[in-house]
A and B are shown apart, each in its own frame.
Chain A
Amino acid sequence: MTNELRPQRPSKPENWLHDSAQDYTRIFSKLVYLGKDAKPWAECTNEEKEAWESDHPQPEPEPEPQEPEGGEV
């Protein structure tokens, strides 16, 4: 079972691997163990990672209701 593991690391230590998840979420990692049918992840520089994150800020949570302290429990 273990010999089926397919670890992938970036070609340079400073680079990142990335893959897109749901919506416009992108996962960045220095190490990924690929699923048996998965294609290798793309690679990018740290600058490219930061630029992508700047262009795609995490969506903010929905506004939370303002409840009184020690409210309904």
Chain B
Amino acid sequence: MSTTIKQAIEALKARIAVAYTEVSAKGGTLPATQDSANLPSAIASIPSGGGGEVYYIGNLSFGAENGRVIDAENIISSSGSISDGSFSCDKAIYTEEILNLRGVFRSFTNGGSSVLKKLYFKDAELYGSFTYFRASNIEKFDFSGLRVISANVSFLQSGTYKSIISFIGDHTLQEVLNGDIVALSGISNSFSLAGSNADRASYLAIIKGLADMTGKKAQTFSIGATNLAKLTAEDIAIATNKNWNIA
């Protein structure tokens, strides 16, 4: 009997070791002590975008492993926006702990030969970004890790972006309802996603992230009549109770 238990323990240890190997391969963070107790947190550290892939754009590095860019404002100047001609990839961009980005994806145009499908952000703060963004074939944004610190955000202001079906990547409605995630947290000025065609979960995640404008001038989140119909009265009330108009 004792031999069987010993064998079982050894097999379990081997599986734990394999699990840590997979965590590392997927861009997760390995603890100093790689035992079963630390395994859940190690798995949780695996970036949702898949990780491991690194893309370099100008002097900005993206990636789960070495994408740690701190205080990187002005890394992309007004004349150096990421645009269709300078950017093309067939995988997701995944960013982690990129702080204080300014002007990123300003005037970005995704169409024609570009096949960028997804944009992932984690723990990032942006301002002056995504102005005049135009995307003709991006399907998913994951803005659940994105904090907006600008008073002058005009996301997707004049874009064609009906291809976008999610602003929360692969996160679920249940996660939004549970309060596990919000998207674009902190926006405090009117903006429009009226040309998008995302699902309820995406718009609700954004509504939950809106700054509380109580006692200040009401701002408007415009999504258009078709998208407005996807929301429940309770969803809309979350915004109006924070003094946001929903149009």
Q: Is A49 an interface residue (CB 8 A)?
A: no
Q: Mark B204-217, 1 if CB is under 8 A from A, else 0.
A: 00000000011100
Q: B132: CB under 8 A from chain A?
A: yes
Is the CB–CB distance between B89 and A27 below 8 Å?
A: no
Interface size class on chain A is 35 or more
Interface range on chain B: under 10, 10 to 19, 20 to 34, or 35 or more?
35 or more
B31 within 8 A of A: no
Task: Tell me, yes or no, whether A36 is within 8 Å of chain B by CB.
Answer: yes
3 closest A-B pairs by beta carbon, nearest first, are: A67-B86, A38-B218, A61-B132
Q: Are B225 and A30 neighbours in the complex by a CB distance under 8 Å?
A: yes
Option from A1, A29, A33, A71 in Cβ contact (under 8 Å) with B86: A71
For A4, the chain B residues whose CB sits under 8 A away are: 237, 240-241
User: Which one of B78, B189, B190 has the highest number of Cβ atoms from chain A below 10 Å of its Cβ?
Assistant: B190
A22/B240 contact (C-beta < 8 A), A64-B83, A65-B81 known: no
Is A14 on the interface with B (CB-CB < 8 A)? Answer: no
B residues in contact (CB < 8 Å) with A: 55-58, 78-81, 83-89, 106-107, 109, 113, 131-132, 134, 152, 154, 157-158, 189-192, 213-215, 218-220, 222, 225, 228, 233-234, 236-247
How many angstroms from the CA of A70 to the CA of B115 in the assembled complex? 11
0 or 1 for each of A1-34: is its CB under 8 Å from B? (1 = yes): 1101110000000000101011001010111111
Q: Which residue of A lies closest to B106 (CB)?
A: A62
Quick one: closest B residue to A20, CB to CB? B190
Query: Which of B57, B107, B213, B245 has the most C-beta atoms of chain A within 10 angstroms of its own C-beta?
Result: B245
B113 and A65: CB pair below 8 A?
A: no
Is A72 in the interface zone, CB < 8 Å from B? yes
Say yes or no: B81 contacts A62, CB within 8 Å.
yes
Verify B57–A35 contact, CB threshold 8 A: no
Which of A19, A58, A64 is B109 in contact with, Cβ under 8 Å?
A: A64
Q: Is the CB of A31 within 8 A of B222?
A: no
- Smallest CB gap from B151: residue in A: A22
CA distance A53 to B88 in the complex (A): 34
Judge whether A67 and B83 touch: CB under 8 Å: yes
Are B236 and A5 touching (Cβ within 8 A)? yes
Contact assessment for A29 and B158 in the assembled complex, using a CB-CB cutoff below 8 Å: no
Show 15 residue pairs from A and B whose CB-CB distance is below 8 angstroms, ordered by the A residue.
A2-B233, A2-B237, A5-B236, A33-B246, A34-B218, A38-B243, A61-B134, A62-B132, A64-B84, A65-B79, A65-B80, A65-B83, A65-B85, A72-B57, A73-B55
- The residue from A1, A30, A34, A67 contacting B245, defined by CB atoms under 8 A apart: A34
**Contact across chains for B247 and A29 when beta carbons are under 8 A apart:** yes
In the bound complex, what is the Cα–Cα distance between A30 and B132 (angstroms)?
A: 24
Q: Is A54 an interface residue, CB under 8 A from the partner? A: no
